[in-house]
Amino acid sequence: MEGIRLLRSQGSRGAEGQRRKCSSAPLLMRQVKILLDNIRFEHTIFALPFAYLGMVLAANGLPTLSQFIWITLAMASARTLAMSLNRLIDRELDARNPRTLNRPLPRGLISPRAVAGIVFAAFVIFEFAAWQLNWLCFVLSPLALIFLVGYHYAKRFTWLTHWILGFTDGIAAAGGWVAVRASLDPLALLLWFVVVVWMAGFDLIYACQDVEVDRRDGLYSVPSRFGLATALTLARVNHAITVVALAAVGMVAGLGWVYWLGWLIVAALLAYENAIVKPNDLSRLDLAFFNVNGYISVLVFVSALFGIYF
């Protein structure tokens, strides 16, 4: 009887341990989901294809597997660092904005200390990836970090914040080039410029939804300073320049017909994006910002990659 009770006791403890393992798995998944939601990890699609664009143009085709892996890690960690810092620095502003008050930090779903830990881990991965790529990437990495950290504060003192964001994200395109060539050539600077005007254009559109909040909190943006109509006009101008700059990329790089087909589609998408958002109707802003720009970034990369060969 004693042996039976012992076996039952051991079986009970084993079952309890199994239940704890089963219950901890969903908890871990929820925590991971919160972390990814906090930085909107899925929006990496905006910048990563441009890093790959710089990479394939610098390699005139596909890079080595090692370069691809380290470029991917560098870009993903850089964006994780930047977005985590954004959430950390702006957490009090986010708590006062109806659009952002449900983010994980304002809701208390994640602690500032945990986000700071993510920032540090992303910094270590970014620097290690830059070191693995080449000496110039590693030497320039602190300059990239200055903008990755500093652009969060731009809206506190200048309405040029949209172009500062574009300049910061443009580092991805130039970085992809430097990672392969270990040099910063004119075509890399042109790719950088493409991202500056493209990103500034759609950030001008995106900022239109926060006009009243920005004015209340003393934050700077073109829509809050000059009005929605001016902001949307400037967005169209920036996107028109983007189309011209992308054409220049195709000519300088000597890309084939596939690239130019993609270029035509990108021009049409940019026209569509700007057509569906109006000063008196922002109801389709999310479609313009998230869907269309995601398509554009991927399309530019894919058409350039195949344009190298066809």
Return per-residue pLDDT of the chain as tens, 310 residues: 444 444 445 444 444 444 444 445 565 566 666 665 555 655 556 678 999 999 999 999 999 999 999 999 999 999 889 888 888 998 888 889 888 888 888 888 888 898 899 899 999 999 999 999 999 999 999 999 999 888 889 999 999 999 999 999 999 999 999 999 999 999 999 999 999 999 999 899 999 999 999 999 999 999 999 999 999 999 999 999 999 999 999 999 999 999 999 999 999 999 999 998 888 888 877 766 677 888 899 999 999 999 999 9
Instruction: Tell me if 218 is assigned to some domain.
Output: yes
d(CA 6, CA 71): 57
% pLDDT > 90, the chain: 62
**Can you give the CATH number for the domain in which 89 is found?**
1.10.357.140
Instruction: Tell me if 124 is assigned to some domain.
Output: yes
CB atoms within 10 A of CB 281: 9
Instruction: Tell me if 3 is assigned to some domain.
Output: no
Instruction: Tell me if 20 is assigned to some domain.
Output: no
d(CA 51, CA 168): 12
Element holding 29 (H helix, E strand): helix 2-39
Number of domains in the chain: 1
HSE (CB half, 13 Å, CA atoms) of 133? Answer: 32
The answer to whether 167 touches 147, Cβ cutoff 8 Å, is: yes
d(CA 112, CA 105): 7
Instruction: Tell me if 232 is assigned to some domain.
Output: yes
Among 226, 189, 186, 188, which residue's Cα sits nearest to residue 207? 226
Q: What is the pLDDT of residue 3?
A: 47
Instruction: Tell me if 207 is assigned to some domain.
Output: yes
Domain span holding position 225: 31-307
Instruction: Tell me if 11 is assigned to some domain.
Output: no
Q: What is the pLDDT of residue 15?
A: 45
Instruction: Tell me if 23 is assigned to some domain.
Output: no
d(CA 124, CA 119): 9
